[in-house]
């Protein structure tokens, strides 16, 4: 069974076997799990506080370095998130109470510049401490693969996928089943009404901000397992996160998952007829196309016109 | 009051105009080059402020326009053999059309879409320009790369050198001075016109502005186009001055960072703030980049921590003096 895709002219005809197709599809789903975790952190902070957290990229990068650093100390990279994520959760809460609280009262332009500044500081910090060399974590465990018929799956990517999904499902449970989770959602829906119904908005925003940062850190830890990184790492992922959030819409969990799958599919299949160096462009092109055609995101298509 | 201000402006222009005459005797012409770059950055900063300050749409990707202006000029000069300065308006136009192509979809909507897209655009454009020659090979546009490189990829492009290097530098200095005056004049005109008023209104409250009949997206896109055009021309000037460009350097993120930083330091959304910010930024950058200090027994080059200083500066300005240096001066005068 063959798929024929021709672009521009017949010289570019690409034959794709069914096996390749299957493998690319599986790889896309696995990547999507990670992408969903990564973008949910951004969506949570934007949804609740209406802040665009540009330092998201910096948190991804520093969490990846954190995992790397713990690995050099002999702590397994699979255990690193248990140290790195709570740390970032704490940092997020402290940030919110000291600085971000004041930024929230300012026009949106101020928050963009503020978080951009924080991101620059983080990048420079990484340059100073870890230098500009490209790092990655490899050992026997990270190179293991499983064969499943025609499918070849890397153990690492499977672990990353399931860890990401577990985090998202527990977060979803937290947001729907607990008082604090429901308060976060109430705040996202209508801050004024939430305050009037007696929700401690300060504490709940801090919690949401901490959770958003913690999710980003978790995604960063997972990324350290499968990507190489340097202090510039994260910039393209910030754009990807945003692209997914725009695709999926802010309010829904299903939307973010759908957006993540869309982007991962687009990226993995584009490699077949594009130089790999241009892969990071896919998210940008997709973002522009989505904004032109369905600015309200995929979910608006499902629900019909809003 | 108005007369005195005009006098200051004229005095400033005269002072800049005589710099090439005295630069040789002071430091062998370095002052001339420094002044050229300061004037170029002032133009870029003022141009960024049209979309970032007046319209309130922060762009983290203006370096892209600058790079496109530079590349258009280099390709024009290499391919046609005509004087490179003829390409200045073409470089501006290319940057403008490019900005329009992604500015339109992202500026139509409210929210941070534009700002986020600008973070991706620099990276995406650099990747395209680095790989363009490879992509064009064996495509219908093959003839572009048949006998000479188009963008040159990682090895860059060398512009044909002018007959008289010194005279060319001098000519470019005065073109740059004229261009800076033009940019500030355009910014001043926008500041006082209905156009600028509409931009401010959209920046403050888009909904209210639209209720009053201001077409928010049209004005924002227009502001981006003007801004991109001017930054493209600045890039063209750069290419002519240094005569060698490569995609990695010209499209590096640092120019985009500089264009965010300069107006913010000077006073975002004002007429003279961005110019002042560019002056402070470029002169400080020139004086400090080689400085070093000791910290806990470790020698730290200031060049290694410049991102941290820029970031810290941004955070401090936003938290304590959103008006920048200009705002600070005003506050001091009141006291």
pLDDT tens, residue by residue, B83-119: 888 899 999 999 999 999 988 888 887 778 888 888 8
Half-sphere exposure of A273 toward its Cβ, with a 13 Å CA cutoff? Answer: 16
Confidence of residue A301 (pLDDT cuts 50, 70, 90): low
What per-residue confidence (pLDDT) applies to A15?
58
In the predicted model, is pLDDT for residue A151 greater than 90? Answer: no
Q: Residue B27 has which token pair?
A: 């430091």
Residue predicted with more confidence, B141 or A282: A282
Residue predicted with more confidence, B151 or A16: B151
pLDDT tens across A89-100, in order?
A: 999 999 999 988
In the predicted model, is pLDDT for residue A12 greater than 80? Answer: no
pLDDT tens across B188-211, in order?
A: 999 999 999 899 888 888 888 888
Of A4-13, A59-68, A207-216, B86-95, the poorest mean pLDDT is in: A4-13
Q: Are A233 and A134 in contact (CB under 8 A)?
A: no
Name which of B120, B139, B318 is nearest A113 (Cβ-Cβ): B318
Output the CA angle B273-B315-B198, nearest 5 degrees.
Answer: 45
Residue of A nearest to B300 (CA): A128
Read off the pLDDT of each residue in A116-139 and give the average, rounded to a whole number.
Answer: 89
What per-residue confidence (pLDDT) applies to A77?
87
In the predicted model, is pLDDT for residue B180 greater than 90? Answer: yes
What's chain A's average pLDDT?
85
Read off the pLDDT of each residue in B231-242 and give the average, rounded to a whole number.
Answer: 95
In the predicted model, is pLDDT for residue B15 greater than 90? Answer: no
Taking CB atoms and an 8 Å cutoff, what residues of chain B touch A287?
A: 117, 120
CB pairs under 8 A between A and B: 126
Highest mean pLDDT among A258-262, B65-69, B165-169: B65-69
Determine which of A6, A49, A53, A113 to mutate to test the interface with B (most B C-beta atoms within 10 Å): A113
What per-residue confidence (pLDDT) applies to A234?
86
- Chain B neighbours among A 96-155 (CB < 8 Å)? 99, 102-103, 106-110, 112-114, 116-125, 127-128
Half-sphere exposure of A48 toward its Cβ, with a 13 Å CA cutoff? Answer: 32
Instruction: Tell whether A5 is within 8 A of chain B (Cβ).
Output: no
Q: Residue B277 has which token pair?
A: 């910010």
Model ipTM?
A: 0.88
pLDDT tens across A24-43, in order?
A: 889 899 999 999 999 998 98
pLDDT tens across A172-189, in order?
A: 899 889 999 999 988 888
Name which of B115, B120, B319 is nearest A284 (Cβ-Cβ): B120
Name the 3-class secondary structure at B78.
helix
Output the CA angle B162-B151-A243, nearest 5 degrees.
Answer: 135
Quick one: chain A helix, strand, coil %, rounded to 5? Answer: 75, 5, 20
Given an 8 Å threshold on Cβ–Cβ distance, is A11 in contact with B138? yes
Taking CB atoms and an 8 Å cutoff, what residues of chain A touch B115?
A: 52, 112
Name which of A102, A108, A128 is nearest B319 (Cβ-Cβ): A102
In the predicted model, is pLDDT for residue B41 greater than 90? Answer: yes
In the predicted model, is pLDDT for residue A253 greater than 80? Answer: no
What is the rounded distance in angstroms from the CA atom of residue B206 to the CA atom of residue B31?
45
Given an 8 Å threshold on Cβ–Cβ distance, is A52 in contact with B312? no
Residue predicted with more confidence, A251 or A191: A191
Name which of B56, B268, B315 is nearest A114 (Cβ-Cβ): B315
In the predicted model, is pLDDT for residue B44 greater than 80? Answer: yes
What per-residue confidence (pLDDT) applies to B80?
86
Q: Residue B260 has which token pair?
A: 């965010």
C-alpha distance across the termini of chain A, in Å: 41
What's chain B's average pLDDT?
87
Name which of B56, B257, B312 is nearest A121 (Cβ-Cβ): B312
Q: Are B194 and B262 in contact (CB under 8 A)?
A: no
In the predicted model, is pLDDT for residue A140 greater than 70? Answer: yes
């Amino acid at each position: 069974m063959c798929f024929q895709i021709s672009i521009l002219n017949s010289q570019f005809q690409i034959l794709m076997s069914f096996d390749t197709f299957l493998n690319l599809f599986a790889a896309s789903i696995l990547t999507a799990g990670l992408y969903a975790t990564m973008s949910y952190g951004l969506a949570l902070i934007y949804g609740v506080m209406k802040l665009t957290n540009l330092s998201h990229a910096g948190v991804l990068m520093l969490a990846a370095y954190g995992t790397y650093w713990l690995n050099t100390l002999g702590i397994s990279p699979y255990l690193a998130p248990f140290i790195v994520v709570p740390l970032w959760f704490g940092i997020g809460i402290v940030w919110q109470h000291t600085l971000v609280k004041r930024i929230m009262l300012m026009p949106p332009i101020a928050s963009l510049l503020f978080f951009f500044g924080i991101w620059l500081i983080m990048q420079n910090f990484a340059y100073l401490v870890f230098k500009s060399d490209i790092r990655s974590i490899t050992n026997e465990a990270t190179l293991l693969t499983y064969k499943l018929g025609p499918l070849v799956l890397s153990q690492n990517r499977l672990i990353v996928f399931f860890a990401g999904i577990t985090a998202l499902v527990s977060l979803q449970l937290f947001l729907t089943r607990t008082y604090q989770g429901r308060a976060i959602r109430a705040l996202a829906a209508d801050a004024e009404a939430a305050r009037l119904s007696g929700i401690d908005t300060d504490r709940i925003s801090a919690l949401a901000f901490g959770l958003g940062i913690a999710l980003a850190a978790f995604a960063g830890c997972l990324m350290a397992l499968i990507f190489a990184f340097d202090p510039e790492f994260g910039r393209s992922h910030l754009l990807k996160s945003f692209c997914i959030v725009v695709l999926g819409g802010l309010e829904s969990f299903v939307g973010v998952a759908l957006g993540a799958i869309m982007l991962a599919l687009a990226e993995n299949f584009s490699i077949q007829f594009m130089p790999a160096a241009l892969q990071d462009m896919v998210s940008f092109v997709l973002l522009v196309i989505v904004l032109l055609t369905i600015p309200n995101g995929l979910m608006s298509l499902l629900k019909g016109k809003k | 009051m108005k007369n005195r201000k005009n006098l200051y402006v004229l005095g400033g222009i005269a002072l800049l105009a005589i710099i090439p005459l005295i630069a040789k005797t002071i430091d062998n012409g370095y002052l001339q080059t420094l002044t050229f770059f300061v004037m170029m950055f002032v133009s870029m900063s003022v141009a960024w402020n049209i979309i970032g300050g007046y319209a309130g749409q922060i762009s983290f990707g203006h370096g892209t326009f600058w790079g496109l202006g530079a590349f258009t000029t280099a390709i024009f000069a290499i391919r046609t053999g005509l004087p490179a300065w003829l390409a200045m308006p073409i470089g501006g136009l290319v940057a403008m059309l490019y900005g329009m192509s992604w500015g339109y979809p992202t500026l139509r909507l409210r929210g941070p879409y534009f700002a986020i897209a600008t973070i991706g655009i620099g990276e995406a454009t650099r990747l395209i320009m680095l790989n363009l020659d490879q992509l064009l090979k064996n495509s219908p546009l093959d003839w572009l790369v048949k006998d000479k490189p188009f963008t040159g990829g990682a090895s860059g492009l060398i512009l044909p050198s002018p007959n008289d290097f010194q005279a060319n530098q001098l000519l470019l200095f005065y073109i740059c001075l004229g261009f800076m005056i033009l940019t500030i004049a355009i910014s001043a005109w926008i500041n006082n016109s209905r156009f600028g008023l509409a931009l401010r209104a959209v920046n403050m409250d888009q909904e209210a502005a639209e209720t009053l009949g201001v077409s928010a997206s049209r004005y924002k896109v227009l502001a981006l186009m003007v801004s991109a055009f001017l930054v493209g021309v600045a890039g063209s000037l750069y290419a002519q001055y240094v005569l060698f460009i490569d995609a990695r350097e010209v499209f590096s993120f640092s120019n985009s960072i500089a264009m965010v930083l300069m107006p913010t330091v000077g006073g975002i959304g004002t007429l003279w703030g961005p110019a002042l910010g560019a002056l402070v930024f470029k002169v400080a950058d020139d004086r400090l980049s080689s400085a070093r200090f000791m910290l806990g027994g470790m020698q730290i080059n200031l060049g290694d921590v410049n991102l941290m200083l820029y970031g810290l500066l941004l955070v401090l300005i936003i938290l304590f003096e959103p008006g920048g240096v200009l705002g600070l001066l005003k506050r001091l005068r009141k006291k």
